[in-house]
Amino acid sequence: MPEALLTDASRRLEQAAHYAPISEDATERLKFPKASLKVAIPVRMDDGSLRVFEGYRVRYDDTRGPTKGGIRFHPSVSLDEVQSLAFWMTFKCAAVNLPFGGAKGGITLNPKELSKFELERLSRGYIDAIAPFIGPDLDIPAPVVYTNSMIMGWMMDQYSIIQGRRSPAVITGKPVSMGGSLGRGTATGTGAFYVIETMMKKLGQSPAEQTVAVQGFGNAGSVVARLLFEAGYKVVAVSDSKGGIYNSSGLKIPDIQQFKQTHHQMKAVYCQDSVCSITPHETLTNEALLELDVDILIPAALENQITEKNAHAIQAKTIFEVANGPVSADADKILEAKGTRLFPDILVNAGGVMVSHFDWVQNRSGLYWSLKKVEDELRSRITSEAATIYDLAQKHTVSFRTAAYIHALSRLGEALNDRGTKDYYIS
């Protein structure tokens, strides 16, 4: 899996390199992570026993600024996976013009097996182990799979204890009470909505005509589904890990969101309880949701959901990748041949890291923004990058994914060249 991720990312990079002004030196430099750290984290468990966990932090490239990327707590975490995701973050930050390079971190574990106290000790132990490797001007972690603002708060506190001074800018996505930004929790879904708005306008299509299916009704997917519903799109299907619901006349997304917040699952939504009466629907599997005949499909759950196995069956005209890597490189080719428009993750879900940037800026300036200012800045910046990527795709007659990589690679290539070039040594 991790190798597949890196292979997919490298293939996309090669396609883009054909169109971007990038030197051989810069391409060679981008093949290797700048620094990788593997640590052992001993944790005293609640029953008195000692367990040692393995953790990683990779700083892929820092040419455009301190490195930035989330920390995953997951059984699949390995050095290969973390390196691949750090590589991906390098392109995402460049694609939306953040003054950051790419990084990623993680600990190999099933976090659901640990008590809250054990999780806190593990989180603080991880920071003890990686403290010299991170910092507000060096490398700035954030929450991602199975980590959240509470864990970021513990980590920021531990880093501050080690430094002997409060250091909120070392980590983004922490609680607002500890210096986190307003709007960070909903930033990915909100940013994705702004990208969809921009692209649908460019394509000359109005919301009322569009049917939408959303796979994954979590943090990112539920926010984008609600914003689309409020803007007049007809969201006909949503799902979570337990299954999905469908209504050809459109689902009442705010009711589902409220129900899920109360019951923490959608299972009850589609079979037993009161929302069944508020939202009439049929049930469907996640596989069937992906293959629905809708205008817009939004994978917002996991990697590799659309592969060469099911790409032929996808009927949606347009796909917006809210999840990271939901469509494999092989599936890309099949979809492109069918004429499916696909807007890539490194643009569509970049709202999260953009508001993380605002979080860091606010910590460093000491001046905190209103939610309106956060959302206005996010809208103006992500809309402008989306429009540029749309125009690049038209100019080079390439997919929107290749256009996003061209955009990122042009910025990275320029910075890498300006840093130093072998041309100095050629007389």
Q: Which residues bind ligand NAD (CB under 6 A)?
A: 144, 188, 215-221, 239-241, 286, 300-302, 322-324, 349, 352
**What minimum distance in Å lies between the beta carbon of 143 and ligand NAD?**
7
Length of the chain: 427
Cβ proximity to ligand NAD: between 127 and 323 the closer is 323
Cβ proximity to ligand NAD: between 185 and 413 the closer is 185
104 labelled catalytic: yes
**Plot region of 176 (φ>0 → left; ψ -120 to 50 → alpha; else → beta):** alpha
Catalytic residue among 92, 104, 234, 317: 104
**What minimum distance in Å lies between the beta carbon of 322 and ligand NAD?**
6
DSSP symbol at 370: P
DSSP symbol at 267: G
Cβ proximity to ligand NAD: between 125 and 216 the closer is 216
**What minimum distance in Å lies between the beta carbon of 418 and ligand NAD?**
29
| Separation CA 324–CA 138 (nearest Å) | 24
**What minimum distance in Å lies between the beta carbon of 226 and ligand NAD?**
13
User: Are the beta carbons of 68 and 45 closer than 8 angstroms?
Assistant: no
DSSP symbol at 266: S
Give the CB-nearest residue to ligand NAD.
218
| Separation CA 93–CA 102 (nearest Å) | 7
Cβ proximity to ligand NAD: between 27 and 243 the closer is 243
Cβ proximity to ligand NAD: between 288 and 302 the closer is 302
The vertex-388 CA angle with 385 and 394, nearest 5°, equals 145
Tokens found for residue 235: 């969201």
Q: Which stretch of DSSP H or E encloses residue 38? A: strand 35-44
| Separation CA 266–CA 278 (nearest Å) | 14
Residues pairing with 1 in the sheet: none
| Separation CA 87–CA 136 (nearest Å) | 20
**What minimum distance in Å lies between the beta carbon of 144 and ligand NAD?**
6
Cβ proximity to ligand NAD: between 190 and 340 the closer is 190
User: Are the beta carbons of 184 and 171 closer than 8 angstroms?
Assistant: no
User: Per residue in 37-67, is it b (16+ CB within 10 Å) or e — as a string?
Assistant: bebebebeeeeeeeeebebbbbbbbbbbbbb
**What minimum distance in Å lies between the beta carbon of 132 and ligand NAD?**
27
- 81 alpha carbon, distance to own chain's centre: 15
- For tokens 């994954």, name the residue: 216
Give catalytic residue positions.
Answer: 104
